[in-house]
Structure 1
Amino acid sequence: MGPTLLHYSNVSSQNLPPPENPNFEQEQLILNPFKTTLNQGLTCGQLIVSRGFKYERHFVTTEDGYILELYRIINPYAQAARGRNLKPILVLHGGFTSCSSFMINGPGGHIKEWINGNPPHDTSKSLAFALANREFDVWLGNDRGTRYSNHTRLDPYKDHEFWNFTFIEMGKYDVPAMVDYIIEETGFEKIVYIGYSQSTIAMLTLLAKQPQFACKLDLNINVSPEAFIGDQKGISSIIQPSLLLTEIGSEYSGPVIPFIQEFVAILSILCTNDAVKPICFEINNYVFGPDREMISPDQIKELVSQVDQMSLKSVLHYMQSSKYDQIREFDYGPKKNLEVYGSEEPHKFPFEIVPIHNLVIISGLNDYLAPQVSVQKLRDILPDRPFIDHVVTWPLWSHVDILLADEAFEYMHSVIIDIVRVHGEDVQVSSEI
């Protein structure tokens, strides 16, 4: 299936285009009478055009049959100035979110004109728009299980087999499919990868099994890296997998939230209410790490309106990993593990062979899901120092600050842009294009 190019001008909250993804129609029908900001509940396409950009929708099929939706942000000003010589960047989201999470930190991020062939000085708080207003070809990916995914033969609403996956399959199948597709579509030999949270697990587990894959990346940027997750703080630290849940996860394949559209709409409405808003804010703080100076209670309703689906098996795998600390294969129990892996315990992923020549690690000091003690374990197991190891200087920088912080550009996006500009210059366009 080829790309679809879409663009709408003069977009406002009153004349947004309809959702290009039918899964969001019901959510918006419930949410729209109560929403107080433009970004609440919008699809990735609606968010892109709300800032004046064009976009293409690309559909990528993985080796095991999952159909993943890629959004390519089109900036006519950048294309006019640089032609096809725009560095391709794949940006991949965390758990329970989708590509929309990188576009909800508003209200800025609108497309700006280039002056004398130079990109504008845009300080957008949303990573996708901060990149798209510059000399980058921005591709926003969506993993299997999100509402932006499907399958060649399985129906996510009818077939439980569709949900028989974890973040390991995302690394094994989804990441390679998206990277290879972008390389083929753009004609570049390599691209820049920016993975956040869950997508760092996907990339690191992929490279632990196939280190040669790093040759397809100019830079492998991992924000809030999660290879060791036994030292998490906050709410996550007290949630441990029970034997019952493990047994359920080994037998049942299904989504975590069966009625995702209705659930997300109602949750966002509740977090919009002045009485409930502080509760939503504090839950966010104790899950991800509190940064009350950078994130306001009003931003939480936008984040929860973009909550997306995950498989129960993936959540249970994450819980298992907190017990083992270092990410391992899924634990089915001793008997089935022996059949699947040849040992009673699931195998560890050998992060000691992950290539470091293009590895970039960006971490925060107040990240409850990727605390510094866990990041240090990753540093210690790597064969050498990462190419770049950046710790955000803001002492309260939490797990979701990249998505919601008022000064996200200063502390995160500008750092990423500088790294790509300085160290991604060896990217060359294929002569066949």
Structure 2
Amino acid sequence: MVQVTTKDGYILGMQRIPVGRSNNTANRSPILLQHGMLMDAATWVFNSPNESLAFILADNGYDVWLGNNRGTKSSRGHTSLSANDPAYWEWTWDQLVTYDLPAMYEYVHNQTGQKLYYVGHSLGTLQALAAFSEQKLVNITKSAALLTPIAYLGHAPSLLSRTAATFYLAERMYSFGIREVVAGLQDVGKLLESVCQFPLIDCTNLIAAITGPNCCIKPSTIEALLDHAPQSTSTKNLVHLSQMVRQGNIAMYDYGDESENKAHYGQSTPPLYDMTRIPKDIPLFLSYGQNDALSDVYDVQLLLDNLKNHQKDKLVVQYIDDYSHLDFVIAANAKSIVYDPLMAFLRTP
């Protein structure tokens, strides 16, 4: 593992798979894989080497780098703060866009001297889309594959997530002094239990309640996932995502007070991330599924509407009928369904 320090002092761990089973080190292009919410780099290696995207890419000649956002098991360091300090957790995905993703990107670029390929899942797609909309990282990106793209969340059908947002669950946690969200925390568990009491919310399968009915994941993979996840995130990050669910837009964190927003942004409302400003010539691969309870079909269509002027030969869109949110990264058949088309996209000149 290598460590990368962000400009605001967070120390991130990155794993690397520099060669595949052929052990051929020649002409390997760097590719950065970025995980989703409550996950970390293990996302890409839960299955066998023939089924996990990180290993498949390494075996196909790529120099694979695995990113870990702040707060996850590999990225809990800081130049001056302890992860036990409440101040350590004062961030949202805005900071992942501004600091974490650029730090990892630039480290890989500096180490390899090459532009990067990028693959993001869930929150990892939001980080990239927001960065690209602000013209960040574009000049060192060859292409980007976005699995279950998250830009808009206003139509996310997950009843648990929508109920939590509607009743300001994350805001309540923050007001109670809870700054880190991690599995097993007693106060978090009690609040989650209260949401699970609502009609039609079935928490007996918490993964399905949040992400939707994943079709094609082996029980052994689910066991491995539950042994490793969920990883920690900040309560403030959940507040920010809840704002997106309620407001239906892609904006910076709303402090809930005009004067405080003015102090941070110079205006009374948080600035929007404008998806129409994503450069029209950056090659994009978007893959989404009918049964996804977070990356909803309607919300993905809103994103595609923003990309309507994208160069046609630079945009590949894949729609999968029976896939849900986690199928894209840990389904047993993801290689043939998602990764083979993704690989073909990466090889396109």
TM range (shorter): 0.7 to 0.9
Q: Which has more radius of gyration? A: 1
Q: Where does residue 75 of structure 1 map in the other structure?
A: 19
Q: Distance in 1 between matches of 2:333 and 2:204?
A: 18
Q: Distance in 2 between matches of 1:247 and 1:389?
A: 41
Deviation track 1:270-301 (CA, whole Å, cap 9, x = no partner) reads xxxxxxxxx88733223212134x12444322
Q: Is 2:255 the partner of 1:332?
A: yes
Alignment of 1:14-413 (within 5 A): 57-75=1-19, 77-80=21-24, 83-105=25-47, 108-109=48-49, 124-149=50-75, 150-157=77-84, 159-188=85-114, 190-209=115-134, 211-235=135-159, 236-242=161-167, 245-246=170-171, 249=174, 252=177, 254-257=179-182, 282-292=205-215, 294-307=216-229, 308-334=231-257, 335-357=259-281, 358-382=283-307, 384-385=309-310, 387-393=314-320, 395-413=321-339
State how many pairs are aligned: 328
Deviation track 1:155-191 (CA, whole Å, cap 9, x = no partner) reads 102x111111111111111111111111111121x11
Taking a change above 3 Å as real, the CA distance of residues 199 and 416 of structure 1, as seen in their structure-2 partners, is: same
Q: Where does residue 274 of structure 1 map in the other structure?
A: none
SS of 2:150's partner is coil
Aligned residue type for 2:45: M
1:373 deviates by: 0.6
Q: Distance in 2 between matches of 1:88 and 1:253?
A: 38
SS of 1:304's partner is helix
Aligned residue type for 1:409: K
SS of 1:333's partner is coil
1:250 deviates by: 7.6
Instruction: Kindly indicate whether the alpha-carbon contact (under 8 Å) linking 1:250 and 1:332 is maintained by their aligned counterparts in 2.
Output: no
Q: Distance in 1 between matches of 2:183 and 2:79?
A: 21
SS of 2:250's partner is coil
1:366 deviates by: 1.7
Q: Where does residue 192 of structure 2 map in the other structure?
A: none
Instruction: Mark the runs of 5 or more structure 2 residues left unpaired by the alignment.
Output: 189-201
Taking a change above 3 Å as real, the CA distance of residues 372 and 259 of structure 1, as seen in their structure-2 partners, is: closer
Instruction: Kindly indicate whether the alpha-carbon contact (under 8 Å) linking 2:45 and 2:52 is maintained by their aligned counterparts in 1.
Output: yes
Q: Where does residue 199 of structure 2 map in the other structure?
A: none
Deviation track 1:14-66 (CA, whole Å, cap 9, x = no partner) reads xxxxxxxxxxxxxxxxxxxxxxxxxxxxxxxxxxxxxxxxxxx1111111111
Instruction: Mark the runs of 5 or more structure 1 residues left unpaired by the alignment.
Output: 1-56, 110-123, 264-278, 424-433
Taking a change above 3 Å as real, the CA distance of residues 212 and 232 of structure 1, as seen in their structure-2 partners, is: closer
Deviation track 1:386-432 (CA, whole Å, cap 9, x = no partner) reads 62232234x11111002321211111111211111223xxxxxxxxx
Q: CA RMSD in A?
A: 2.5
Taking a change above 3 Å as real, the CA distance of residues 239 and 311 of structure 1, as seen in their structure-2 partners, is: same
Q: Distance in 2 between matches of 1:287 and 1:155?
A: 30
Instruction: Kindly indicate whether the alpha-carbon contact (under 8 Å) linking 1:93 and 1:99 is maintained by their aligned counterparts in 2.
Output: yes
Q: Distance in 2 between matches of 1:244 and 1:77?
A: 46
After alignment, is 281-290 or 229-238 more displaced? Answer: 281-290
